[in-house]
């Protein structure tokens, strides 16, 4: 049996593998696929912490939504790795992040702060199929106390509710370019639900309806590629889901099949952006529209530099551990493609380790008198001044095209987004003195690259625009960014 470490995205090898089955575009994406505004993934946070973060940080900074870890009961696994959250046992809302009542309170408090809650929905599979692992002891118990056995989840599913594909010796996916294996066989030995079954569809739809009844406004559908496009659409129709949907589709060539059900994740975006920020020409990246590589329509693309999978096992992906990472996130938020998600991590060296916890496996809080705060164990990239300030920039310039491109060698580039924002990037080790036409009104602006403005004023320095022209210095390895919604108080 293969080690079930990463079942959300390890099939990324399929991105460059053999030819997949031909795709048939499904036409324009459904209206509820269209979202707006930056999303933040508070990976493995407790519901009580998410609620407070929405009120104190996310809402004021302009984040439109927060993606939370899977809220459904999950398998308790020895050592409590993060990936146990992706092995559902039931659809009870009881996990290390909190209880059902705490989840409902979080959704309500976030909504009051103008922040939607998006759920990471694991509906392709249940737990490891044979409950065996060569290195980690597996239990037959879930976080809500549910006892289960292989292919048997009392009151929910039994053996006949799962695919038993018979296409490989182990029933696991061996060839990620074979669409039949991808959709019918087991992803890393996880019991694969028969999502063509009316019963299975009804049970999953009931779970989604329960989330909606508590106010959840969006879904990240984990392993959607392995559900199959027709089944995915049927499940959402069964649930009559009208919230935002973004589907984890790790193979760009398969994305078009899923557009009728919502947005799709563009993994290629993060790889291309990371490579370009590390060693490419910044101006050539913008001129060449690096974001278009996967061929996904902008209105249906969900983009990120890194996510919880790729930051552990991606190839050459920039993460919080890299000095150039803030520059990459700023570039994502500055460009006019897709809906951006900001990653908020906890620190790790072991790629399987779970969130900061105590000796009895309780997740340690971020907030409160006993909370760890942000900066070490909880990294909180979403609070970094450049990233938080750029969330406001993205909101202010949304819908505007890149104009007035100014190139100054491979390490320096500046451009406007219509007449609503101007930004300059400097990857070099020397200051860049830049004079540039912005199209913005002639006033003083807060440099949002130094943080989000507050009622008290600019978080950092100010930049003056005269007769549409900006004259400023972009610091080494830094960014200067201004926009019409961040005018400095006179």
Q: Do residue 367 and residue 415 come from a single domain? A: no
Q: Is 390 inside a domain boundary?
A: no
Q: What is the pLDDT of residue 9?
A: 37
Q: What is the pLDDT of residue 240?
A: 96
pLDDT at position 423 over 60: yes
Q: What is the pLDDT of residue 20?
A: 35
Q: Is 397 inside a domain boundary?
A: no
Terminal Cα distance for the chain, rounded: 66
Q: What is the rounded average pLDDT of the residues 229-248? A: 97
Q: Do residue 37 and residue 128 come from a single domain? A: yes
Q: Is 2 inside a domain boundary?
A: no
Q: Do residue 206 and residue 293 come from a single domain? A: yes
pLDDT at position 128 over 50: yes
Q: How confident is the model at residue 489 (pLDDT cuts 50, 70, 90)?
A: confident
Show the CA angle centred on residue 215, arms to residues 209 and 217, nearest 5°: 85
pLDDT at position 57 over 90: yes
Could you tell me the pTM of the whole model?
Answer: 0.93
Count CB atoms within 10 A of the CB of residue 27.
9
Q: Residue 120's domain is classified under what CATH number? A: 3.20.20.80
Q: Can you give the residue range of the structural domain that contains 471?
A: 402-486
Q: What is the rounded average pLDDT of the residues 186-199? A: 98
Question: Mean pLDDT in the chain?
Answer: 93
Q: Do residue 366 and residue 456 come from a single domain? A: no
pLDDT at position 353 over 70: yes
Q: Is 4 inside a domain boundary?
A: no
Please pick, among 128, 172, 183, 248, the residue that the annotation labels catalytic: 248
Q: What is the pLDDT of residue 490?
A: 57
Q: What is the rounded average pLDDT of the residues 158-181? A: 97
Q: What is the pLDDT of residue 35?
A: 72
Q: How confident is the model at residue 34 (pLDDT cuts 50, 70, 90)?
A: low
Locate 55 and state its tokens.
Answer: 């009120």
Q: Residue 456's domain is classified under what CATH number? A: 2.60.40.1180
Domain boundary among 354, 383, 412: 383
Locate 166 and state its tokens.
Answer: 């018979």
Q: Do residue 328 and residue 411 come from a single domain? A: no
Q: Which residue has the higher pLDDT, 12 or 57?
A: 57
Q: What is the pLDDT of residue 33?
A: 54
Q: Residue 70's closest CA among 235, 229, 251, 248? A: 248
Q: How confident is the model at residue 151 (pLDDT cuts 50, 70, 90)?
A: very high
Q: Which residue has the higher pLDDT, 100 or 134?
A: 100
Q: What is the rounded average pLDDT of the residues 117-128? A: 98
pLDDT at position 153 over 90: yes
Q: Do residue 293 and residue 431 come from a single domain? A: no
pLDDT at position 392 over 70: yes
Q: Is 394 inside a domain boundary?
A: no
pLDDT at position 435 over 60: yes
Based on the residue annotation, tell me whether 248 is a catalytic residue of this protein. Answer: yes
Q: What are the CA-CA distances from residue 463 to residues 51, 393, 408, 426 (Å)?
A: 34, 15, 20, 16
Q: Is 155 inside a domain boundary?
A: yes
Q: What is the rounded average pLDDT of the residues 123-145? A: 93
pLDDT at position 30 over 70: no
Q: Do residue 476 and residue 333 come from a single domain? A: no
Query: For the chain, what percent of residues have pLDDT higher than 70?
Result: 93
Find out whether 21 and 179 touch, Cβ atoms under 8 Å.
Answer: yes
pLDDT per residue as tens digits for the range 360-381: 999 999 999 999 999 999 999 9
Please pick, among 53, 178, 189, 222, the residue that the annotation labels catalytic: 222
Q: What is the pLDDT of residue 12?
A: 37
Residue with token string 């202010």: 396
pLDDT at position 24 over 50: no
Based on the residue annotation, tell me whether 73 is a catalytic residue of this protein. Answer: no
Q: What is the pLDDT of residue 4?
A: 38
Q: Do residue 139 and residue 217 come from a single domain? A: yes
Q: Do residue 425 and residue 358 come from a single domain? A: no
pLDDT at position 69 over 80: yes
Query: For the chain, what percent of residues have pLDDT higher than 90?
Result: 90
Locate 186 and state its tokens.
Answer: 């087991």
Q: What is the pLDDT of residue 455?
A: 85
Q: What is the rounded average pLDDT of the residues 442-471? A: 95
pLDDT at position 15 over 80: no
Find out whether 52 and 367 touch, Cβ atoms under 8 Å.
Answer: yes
Q: Do residue 256 and residue 304 come from a single domain? A: yes
Q: What are the CA-CA distances from residue 253 to residues 21, 30, 239, 315 (Å)?
A: 9, 20, 27, 19
Q: How confident is the model at residue 186 (pLDDT cuts 50, 70, 90)?
A: very high
Q: How confident is the model at residue 314 (pLDDT cuts 50, 70, 90)?
A: confident
Q: Do residue 248 and residue 284 come from a single domain? A: yes
Q: Do residue 262 and residue 342 come from a single domain? A: yes
Q: Is 303 inside a domain boundary?
A: yes
pLDDT at position 218 over 70: yes
Total tally of structural domains belonging to the chain: 2
Q: What is the pLDDT of residue 13?
A: 36
pLDDT at position 426 over 90: yes
pLDDT at position 32 over 80: no
Q: How confident is the model at residue 25 (pLDDT cuts 50, 70, 90)?
A: very low
Q: Is 424 inside a domain boundary?
A: yes
């Amino acid at each position: 049996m293969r080690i079930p470490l990463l079942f959300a995205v390890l099939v990324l090898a399929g991105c460059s593998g053999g030819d997949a089955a031909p795709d048939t575009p499904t036409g324009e994406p459904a209206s509820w696929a269209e979202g707006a505004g930056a999303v933040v993934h508070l990976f493995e946070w407790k519901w009580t912490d998410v609620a407070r973060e929405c009120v104190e940080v996310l809402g004021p900074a302009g984040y439109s939504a927060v993606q939370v870890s899977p809220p459904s009961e999950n398998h308790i696994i020895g050592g409590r790795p993060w990936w146990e959250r992706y092995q559902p046992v039931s659809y009870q809302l009881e996990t290390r992040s909190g209880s059902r009542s705490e989840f409902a309170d979080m959704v309500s408090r976030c909504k009051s702060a103008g922040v939607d809650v998006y759920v990471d929905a694991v509906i392709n599979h249940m737990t490891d199929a044979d409950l065996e692992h060569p290195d980690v002891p597996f239990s037959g118990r879930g976080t809500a106390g549910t006892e289960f056995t292989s292919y048997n989840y009392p009151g929910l599913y039994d053996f006949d509710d799962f695919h038993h594909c018979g296409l490989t010796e182990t029933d696991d996916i061996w060839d990620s370019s074979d669409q039949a294996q991808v959709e019918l066989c087991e992803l890393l030995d996880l019991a694969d639900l028969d999502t063509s079954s009316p019963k299975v569809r009804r049970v999953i739809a009931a779970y989604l309806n329960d989330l909606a009844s508590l106010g959840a406004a969006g879904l990240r559908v984990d392993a959607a590629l392995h559900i199959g496009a027709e089944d995915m659409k049927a499940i959402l129709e069964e649930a009559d889901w009208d919230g935002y949907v973004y589907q984890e589709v790790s193979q760009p060539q398969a994305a078009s099949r899923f557009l009728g059900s919502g947005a799709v994740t563009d993994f290629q975006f993060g790889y291309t952006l990371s490579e370009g920020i590390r060693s490419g020409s910044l101006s050539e990246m913008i001129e060449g529209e690096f974001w278009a590589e996967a061929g996904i329509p902008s209105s249906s693309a969900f983009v990120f530099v890194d996510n919880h999978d790729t930051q552990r096992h991606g190839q050459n992906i920039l993460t919080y551990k890299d000095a150039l990472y803030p520059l990459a996130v700023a570039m994502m938020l500055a460009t006019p493609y897709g809906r951006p998600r900001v990653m908020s991590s906890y620190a790790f060296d072991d790629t399987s380790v779970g969130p900061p916890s105590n000796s009895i496996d309780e997740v340690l809080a971020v907030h409160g008198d006993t909370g760890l705060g942000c900066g070490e164990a909880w990294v909180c990239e979403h609070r970094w001044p450049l990233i938080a300030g750029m969330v406001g920039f993205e909101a202010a310039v949304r819908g505007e095209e890149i104009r007035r491109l100014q190139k100054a060698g491979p390490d320096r580039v500046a451009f406007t987004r219509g007449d609503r924002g101007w930004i300059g990037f400097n990857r070099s080790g020397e200051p860049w003195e830049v004079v540039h036409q912005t199209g913005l009104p002639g006033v003083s602006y807060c440099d949002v690259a130094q943080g989000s403005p507050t009622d008290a004023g600019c978080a950092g320095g100010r930049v003056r625009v005269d007769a549409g022209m900006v004259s400023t210095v972009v610091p080494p390895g830094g960014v200067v960014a201004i926009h019409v919604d961040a005018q400095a108080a006179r």
